[in-house]
Structure 1
Amino acid sequence: MTVFLNNFLIALPLFALVGLGYLFASLRLVTPEIGKALSKFAFTVAIPTLLFRLMSNITQLPAPKLGVPFAFFGSCILVYFFGRILAKKLCHLTTDEQTVFGMATVFSNNVQLGVPISIALLSPASMPALAVIFALNAFLMWTFATVQIEFSRSRSPSLSRTIYQGTMRSLRNPIVIGIILGLLWSLTGLEMPVPLEKTVDLMANAASPVALFAVGVGLTQYKLRSHFETTGLITVLKLGVQPVVVFLLGHLMGLTGPELQAVCLLGCLPVGVNVYIMAQEFNVLQGPTANSLLLTTILAAVTLPAVLSLLGLL
């Protein structure tokens, strides 16, 4: 209980910033447009700068084991297909709906919540493992979901075209750009000039509060309405099942210490907003994904430190 309480108190200020964003937006002191602008700033400028700073010394740390992406994305594949089966049997969803449902059970809010929480709770030694997952996540998830939807709609999917488009989208992603530039700087072995270092620090320090506040503002756009059975099932799979699966796979892959902490923490995160964007793009299951985005973010304030404490990772 003491371990959980300590971890909960460490994570609480981060989720409190989310709550403040929600409160300010609910009181109409901040408009949704401001929230979108803050989110855009965090995603395109502040968080990439933060990742650049963290990656700029990455060559001084050991390279992550190959088991890191296999453990994390392996858990995504297993929970995704298990979720599809449950969605069909219990919720009687169509094939397209099963695809979006499955993505909701594994597509985490890795950027806006994952980056700040990882930095607050984990040591710098976890950064190589986190960087691998951050760089691959959007590309693999979007490509996988798109292929699934194309097959289910009886098109003639071009796997090569889908992978190419996914790769180009990933290379234009500011998060990936920040990681790559930081890695390149680290490889030079150069010291950053003091004025540049201070500028980077100022921008990077803004990333966490701005991103978390923006998440809270954005949550006011979603309301818990109907589809409670589907929403509840997504929530259990995302916050309960995936963390356990990634923990077990991590052990099978021989991960320990910071690497195991990194993959498990990311597995504990709530549903990412990309799933709702996916639901809108494919025009299926928009209600349950909006519900699960709101509900899992609220519950993660307790479940994330609780699960990591129970697994002995913090």
Structure 2
Amino acid sequence: MSGVISGFTVIFIVVGVGYLLGRTHVLGDHAHEVLSRLVFFVFTPALLFHSLVTSDLSVIFSSTLVIAGGSAFLMAGVYLVIAKLWLRRPVPELVIGSLAASYVNSVNLGLPIAIFVLDDASFIAPLLMFQILILSPIALVTLDLTALEPTAGRSLVRNSLIAPMTNPIVVGGIAGLIVSVLGLMPPAAVMSPLKMLGDASVPAALLAFGMSLTGVQVFKKGESPRRDIALAAVLKMVAMPLTVYVIARWGFGQTGQALFAQVVIAALPTAQNVLVYATRYRRGQIIARDTALITTLASIPTIAVIALLLA
């Protein structure tokens, strides 16, 4: 439990600093948007490239990848179907909402919990890979095609081919994987600045998240899409851990520490990256912000209950 408390304390402090910065306007009126764009275009691609180049691929391609990836796809699909048929949302909002329901905070909270609670950081690596190389590219390409103004004369087919290659996060992830598979190691003069930039991704995303909370009321009637947020939060914090338990327990026969780790990872809150994406495309920002905050608060008692039942 001390690891859980420590991980959440770090997050709340940095988010609180971001909130104070936004509240006092020390960085100006457009600081949140500028910082979010830095995370999107610079910090996160550098983090992905460096992380993948230095990762052990044998640890990544394991049963955890199937369990984490399958459950994330399932939650995203359930959200898409319900929000489309019941709430009648447009595609960009459907994409952001599905990410809010399935995209796990695998870095700034997942890594501390994996280290301090699970005593094994390798549990988080497969999920990080899945989100980097599969879930994010699918969502970002869809947003590129549906949320941005199309360039005159471009066809949908051409857009679908070009969009992945112009998205910095996708490019960073794919480039890192290729270098890792080939067994190459760039010189220190290249890796050191990439590590410096990548290290800024998590705190910058948390600061941007804190800034986004300035002057807003979470779940505010008349402004906040309450049904969308409630649907995403319930899927993320209730349905996803239960789904992972069923898949890991009866699908892969896991018990003990392995089963406990899988369920804890599934109970991590929505990542702040979803808000970064929403800000980049200017769609679904309230859904991303409110779901991230609600699930972060809800994950504290949720992980505590899981620890009591399965640890």
In the superposition, the TM-score normalised over structure 1's length comes to 0.71
> Alignment partner for residue 134 of structure 2, among 117, 136, 144?
136
Contact 2:101 2:233 in 1 (8 A): no
Q: Greater CA deviation, 200-209 or 112-121?
A: 112-121
Output the amino acid matched with 2:76.
Answer: C
CA distance in 2, matches of 1:215, 1:70: 28
**What's the Cα RMSD here?**
3.9
Give the drift of 1:266.
6.0
CA 1:298 to 1:128, structure 2 compared with 1: closer, same or farther past 3 Å? Answer: closer
CA distance in 2, matches of 1:263, 1:131: 14
Any residues of structure 2 matched to 1:68-79 within 5 Å, and which? Answer: 68-79=68-79
Contact 1:142 1:166 in 2 (8 A): no
Contact 1:271 1:292 in 2 (8 A): no
Tell me the SS of whatever aligns to 1:116: coil
CA 1:205 to 1:147, structure 2 compared with 1: closer, same or farther past 3 Å? Answer: closer
Contact 1:108 1:270 in 2 (8 A): no
Contact 1:234 1:292 in 2 (8 A): yes
Tell me the SS of whatever aligns to 1:272: helix
Contact 1:61 1:128 in 2 (8 A): yes
Give the drift of 1:39.
1.8
Match of 2:54 in 1: 57
Give the drift of 1:129.
2.7
CA distance in 2, matches of 1:168, 1:189: 27
> Alignment partner for residue 202 of structure 1, among 185, 196, 199?
196
In the comparison of the two structures, how many residue pairs are matched?
A: 283
> Alignment partner for residue 99 of structure 2, among 103, 107, 128?
107
Match of 1:154 in 2: none
Q: Is the counterpart of residue 227 in structure 1 residue 210 in structure 2? A: no
Any residues of structure 2 matched to 1:126-275 within 5 Å, and which? Answer: 126-141=124-139, 165-166=159-160, 168-220=162-214, 222-223=216-217, 225-227=220-222, 230-231=225-226, 233-250=227-244, 251-252=246-247, 254=251, 257=258, 260=262, 264-265=266-267, 268-269=270-271, 272-273=274-275, 274-275=277-278
CA 1:209 to 1:300, structure 2 compared with 1: closer, same or farther past 3 Å? Answer: same
Identity %: 16
Give the drift of 1:215.
2.2
Q: Is the counterpart of residue 119 in structure 1 residue 123 in structure 2? A: no
CA distance in 2, matches of 1:181, 1:77: 28
Tell me the SS of whatever aligns to 1:108: helix
Deviations 1:99-133 (A, max 9, x none): 67655542229999654333333314422332222
Where does structure 1 lack aligned partners over 5 or more consecutive residues?
150-160, 282-288
Match of 1:43 in 2: 40
Output the amino acid matched with 1:198.
Answer: S
Contact 2:32 2:212 in 1 (8 A): yes
Where does structure 2 lack aligned partners over 5 or more consecutive residues?
115-120, 148-154
Deviations 1:132-170 (A, max 9, x none): 223332443467789999xxxxxxxxxxx7576345323
Contact 2:124 2:265 in 1 (8 A): no
Match of 2:305 in 1: 310
CA 1:147 to 1:67, structure 2 compared with 1: closer, same or farther past 3 Å? Answer: farther
Give the drift of 1:46.
1.5
Tell me the SS of whatever aligns to 1:61: helix
Match of 1:153 in 2: none
CA distance in 1, matches of 2:162, 2:189: 33
Contact 1:50 1:204 in 2 (8 A): yes
Contact 1:111 1:134 in 2 (8 A): no
In the superposition, the TM-score normalised over structure 2's length comes to 0.72
Give the drift of 1:249.
3.4
Output the amino acid matched with 1:126.
Answer: I
Q: Is the counterpart of residue 23 in structure 1 residue 17 in structure 2? A: no
CA distance in 1, matches of 2:5, 2:113: 10
Contact 2:95 2:143 in 1 (8 A): yes
Give the drift of 1:303.
1.3
CA distance in 1, matches of 2:89, 2:101: 22
CA distance in 1, matches of 2:136, 2:183: 29
CA distance in 2, matches of 1:206, 1:11: 18
Give the drift of 1:56.
0.8
Tell me the SS of whatever aligns to 1:309: helix
CA distance in 2, matches of 1:131, 1:17: 25
CA 1:26 to 1:114, structure 2 compared with 1: closer, same or farther past 3 Å? Answer: farther
